[in-house]
Structure 1
Amino acid sequence: MDVDHAVLLVLGGVGSGLTGSMAGLASLVSYPVLLAVGIPPVAANMTNTVALLSSAAGAAAGSRRELRGQGRRNLRHGAIAVAGGTAGAVLLLSTPSSAFERIVPWLIVLGAITLLLREPLRTWYAKPGFRPPLGVAIFMIAIYGGYFGAAAGVLLLAAMSLAATEALAVTNAVKSVVLGAANLAAAILYALIAPVHWTAAALLAAGCLLGSWLGWPWYGACRNVRYG
């Protein structure tokens, strides 16, 4: 891998970490960067999942204050996310490359639309009437996260915020840990049996770790903002 590609991956990782910690949109930055350096779509997606583990680690490290007392909650939701992330990874491994390449542009569009409409979606989801229990919502979002994941953080934050009356920063911190659990489950499968590009993953992960660590202080301004 040449120097230009290495620099692009690190910078893309920083941008991914920043957007992931603040908006849950890491894959919308990191995945196109992996494609830009010439990695095939399916391998890029798997490499991306492995690399984004550092984003979750950076966010968790930066939000230690918000995560105090959240251990049982993280374990409960994290277990559900692990099951969903594993299912998503199995789904991806079972999807032909040609089919995945046709689906990905629509998933990216879905991620962008979710970002634009996240507040209206949250308002709609909060209206009285049927909506899936939080555990079901976490499982479904984790499947999506294990399969591709663009905007999974936005969806998970919206779902979790409806079940909480706490500062936004606390909900966001828990979201990062739970989504990290889904990514970890998928990443383990990819690392064992899939074509992960390890050099690209390492470079992207280094940038993600830095970006997520830098992005978390922005959420410090939200410590007193509450949902509910």
Structure 2
Amino acid sequence: MLAALDAIPIPNLGGLSLLGNPWLDLALLLGAGVMAGIVNAMAGGGSFLAIPILIGLGVPPSTANGTIRVAILLQNATLVGAFHKNGVHAHKLSLRLAPPIMAGALLGSWLATRLDDELFRPLLGIILLLWAVILVIKPDRFLHPPDQERSPKPMTYALALAVGLYGGFLQSGVGFPLLALLSGHLGYDLVRANSVKASLIFAYTCLALPVFAFAGQVAWTPAFVLAAGTMGGAWLGVRWQLEKGASLVRWFVLVMVTVAGVLMLYSAFA
């Protein structure tokens, strides 16, 4: 069976391989993309599934951090369109928070491209360890928003700048602080918070991706394979949460912050 598949010409992953068979590598990357898209649409942390596979394929960690941005851009374009089509959005809030988060992401992505892998790898481990501690100590911080939606205050814009700085520097896990900002701080229900989260990540990735591309830190072939999966997963994630509502998202967030905390602890010490 595998020999027959090998006889069919398919796009390879730029000479990269993890499982020793191009079809299996392709299926693995697509499957990881679908799962990451669902996870990111519902909560966050999908990059913790995708980046290890990119690294396993032979992509250096700093390049994996840039490569994932292609999938993130197209995934969140899908999310924004799907949420808007179903009337779930908060455009005014998105427009107000976009400038600080984009400014932070531009600086963060520039800083990330200045580091070589010898510095980036241990720094990545430290960041993952800190995230793991935060998520394990109090995983429900995203699940209990204020009773009413709040208008942004100066602190909100400062927090958005900080989230953008983190997201530009390291994409992994940025959905969690964004949900904390939008739901825990501003009081938006989790479905609407996810719609705003998608629009903000899409906006700052439009700036961050060119920075990584200019630095040569994007592996384009696996990037587009991964993106095909994330777009499908994103569509499924929107459909499920619109059908089931905030209760499903709340459960999903609780599960993912726990899983992400464990994965980050493992990655930090691996």
- TM-score tier by shorter-chain length is 0.7 to 0.9
**Equivalent in the alignment of 2:58:** 38
Q: How far has the Cα of 1:7 moved from its partner?
A: 1.5
Q: How far has the Cα of 1:89 moved from its partner?
A: 0.5
- Cα distance in 1, alignment partners of residues 156 and 119 from structure 2: 30
- Cα distance in 2, alignment partners of residues 156 and 118 from structure 1: 14
Q: Which residues of structure 2 form unaligned runs of 5+?
A: 1-12, 14-21, 147-152, 251-270
Q: How far has the Cα of 1:183 moved from its partner?
A: 2.1
Instruction: Kindly name which structure, 1 or 2, has the bigger radius of gyration based on alpha carbons.
Output: 2
CA separation of 1:66 and 1:198: change in aligned 2, threshold 3 A: same
Structure 1 counterpart SS, 2:140? helix
Query: What is the correspondence of 1:41-190 to structure 2 with a 5 Å cutoff?
Result: 41-64=61-84, 65-68=86-89, 70-116=90-136, 117-120=138-141, 133-190=155-212
Output the aligned Cα RMSD. Answer: 2.7
CA separation of 1:209 and 1:113: change in aligned 2, threshold 3 A: farther
Structure 1 runs of 4+ with >6 Å offset? none
Amino acid at match of 1:199: T
Aligned length: 221
Q: Which residues of structure 1 form unaligned runs of 5+?
A: 126-130
CA separation of 1:85 and 1:168: change in aligned 2, threshold 3 A: same
Q: How far has the Cα of 1:223 moved from its partner?
A: 5.2
| The one of 19, 42, 47 aligned to 2:39 | 19
- Cα distance in 2, alignment partners of residues 161 and 121 from structure 1: 7
Amino acid at match of 1:118: P
Instruction: Provide TM-score, normalisation by structure 2.
Output: 0.73
CA separation of 1:53 and 1:112: change in aligned 2, threshold 3 A: farther
Q: 1:103-132 CA deviation, whole Å, 9 max, x = no partner?
A: 222333444445443324777x9xxxxx97
Q: Which has the higher contact order (CA 8 A, sep 6+)?
A: 1
Structure 2 counterpart SS, 1:76? helix
Q: Is the 8 A contact 1:114 1:154 kept in 2?
A: no
Q: Is the 8 A contact 1:118 1:158 kept in 2?
A: no
Query: What is the correspondence of 1:205-224 to structure 2 with a 5 Å cutoff?
Result: 205-220=227-242, 221-222=244-245
CA separation of 1:159 and 1:46: change in aligned 2, threshold 3 A: same
| The one of 208, 216, 219 aligned to 1:197 | 219
Instruction: Provide TM-score, normalisation by structure 1.
Output: 0.86
Structure 1 counterpart SS, 2:175? helix
- Cα distance in 2, alignment partners of residues 115 and 205 from structure 1: 27
CA separation of 1:185 and 1:25: change in aligned 2, threshold 3 A: same
